Amino acid sequence: MTMNSIPEGRSKLGFIGIGAMGLRIAGRLLNHGFQVTVFDRNANKASTLVSSGATLARSIAELASDADVVLSSLPNDEAVRSVYIGPEGVLAHIRPGSMIIEMSTVNPESSRELYRLGSARGVSVLDVPVSGSTSAAEQGLLTLLAGGDEDSFHSAKAIFTAIGRQYFYLGERGSGATMKLVVNTLLGVGMQAIAEAVALGEKAGLDRQRLFEVLSKTAVIAPAHLGKLAKALEHDYRPEFAVGLMNKDFRLILETASAVHAPMPAAAAAFPINDAEFADHPDYDFCAVIDRMEDLANINSARRKSRGETISLTK
């Protein structure tokens, strides 16, 4: 079952997962006039949204039973299953005819499973992972990648336009999740390529600041990587997209590639370096692989060694 449309102001939305992205996405929905009820296992994370007009649910069951649309932004497959499946999960309490918009980056098979379980309850499920930074989420400039029923996708236009600059229907269930892994393959492998290029230039004698400045003005640096160059230039690795999230995505990419027998030599080579950086600095931004490659080339290893750190290609 699908809705004809989801109007602003008259639709009750439930949002689960008030992390860095969820906070900003739910905030955008509030600002566009939706009635938003929020839930996070850490209720303190929702305080900002409550002060802006959101309602705080005491449980997932309470949120799901009253919502026309349930949205979620969660860290991994395990969190998605724990929120949706089981006697206290969304699917046990959501009303038939409602919709689920699941926005986490997960294995496409998890999205397909959620779709099957939702269909058995008469609930439409879309997998709609997002591409973009926390800044893009705050400004409503995300790119949304959707899989599931096409009619449901079109009925959710008011939600999508509130949070995204552009949104795409990719096909049947799991297609949005698959496309997100395709996108993040380029994100992760591209960052590793930049890290190697930077280390090469420095090792060959180029001035670090000038190298970064010129790279940032070339056509080969994607917009998603441009801001990362500026952060890495200053050795600023405060997380916007944490290396742990990229690490999780690399795992999903390689698992999916294995399942469909797609060769991924570049991703397979980039993953151990990301993994090593994650092991040393789990809260750094994923662009910290630039720092690791510089260290491996013995360019700025004294800085890390002064902090008692050791540097390795892998963990």
At 60, which CATH number?
A: 3.40.50.720
Strand segments (E) across 155-195: 164-171
| Identity of the residue numbered 125 | V
User: 172, 206, 223: which is the final residue of a domain?
Assistant: 172
How far apart CA 182 and CA 212 sit, in angstroms, is 27
Let me know the angle formed at the C-alpha of 163 by 39 and 85, rounded to the nearest 5 degrees.
Answer: 35
227 and 111 together in one domain = no
Residues 210 and 289 in one domain: yes
Q: Which residues sit opposite 164 in a β-bridge? A: 142
Position 9 scores a pLDDT of: 62
Do residues 209 and 299 both lie within one domain?
A: yes
Instruction: Indicate if 163 and 239 belong to the same structural domain.
Output: no
Residue 123 sits in the same domain as residue 184? no
Q: Of 27, 17, 19, which Cα lies nearest the Cα of 100?
A: 17
Both 159 and 243 in a single domain?
Answer: no
Are 103 and 208 in the same domain? no
Residues 167, 191 within the same domain:
no
One domain for residues 185 and 239 = yes
Count of domains for the chain: 2
**188 within a domain of the structure (yes/no):** yes
Q: Give yes or no: residues 225 and 140 share one domain.
A: no
Domain-located, residue 7: no
Instruction: Tell me which residues are annotated as active site.
Output: 180
Within this chain, do residues 300 and 189 fall inside the same structural domain, yes or no? yes
Among residues 155, 159, 153, the alpha carbon closest in space to that of 5 is found at 155
Q: Report if residue 314 sits inside a domain.
A: no
Residue 5 is assigned to a structural domain of this protein: no
Among the candidates 172, 191, 208, a domain finishes at: 172
Q: Which of 127, 153, 172 is the last residue of a domain?
A: 172
Answer whether 232's CB lies under 8 Å from 243's CB.
no
Indicate whether 4 belongs to any domain. no
Furthest CA-CA distance within the chain: 65
Considering the domain boundaries, does residue 142 fall inside one?
Answer: yes
Residue 38: inside a domain: yes
Give the domain range for residue 245.
179-305
For residues 74 and 128, state if they share a domain.
yes
DSSP assignment letter at 173? T
pTM listed for this prediction: 0.91
Q: What is the pLDDT along the chain (315 residues), one digit of tens a residue?
A: 445 677 766 689 999 999 999 999 999 999 999 999 999 999 999 999 999 999 999 999 999 999 999 999 999 999 999 999 999 999 999 999 999 999 999 999 999 999 999 999 999 999 999 999 888 999 999 999 999 999 999 999 999 999 999 999 999 999 999 999 999 999 999 999 999 999 999 999 999 999 999 999 999 999 999 999 999 999 999 998 999 999 999 999 999 999 999 999 999 999 999 999 999 999 999 999 999 999 999 876 555 555 566 666 666
Q: Would you state the pLDDT for residue 169?
A: 98
- What is the model's pLDDT at position 1? 42
Query: CA triplet 227, 231, 236: central angle to 5 degrees?
Result: 155
- The verdict on residue 48 lying in a domain is yes
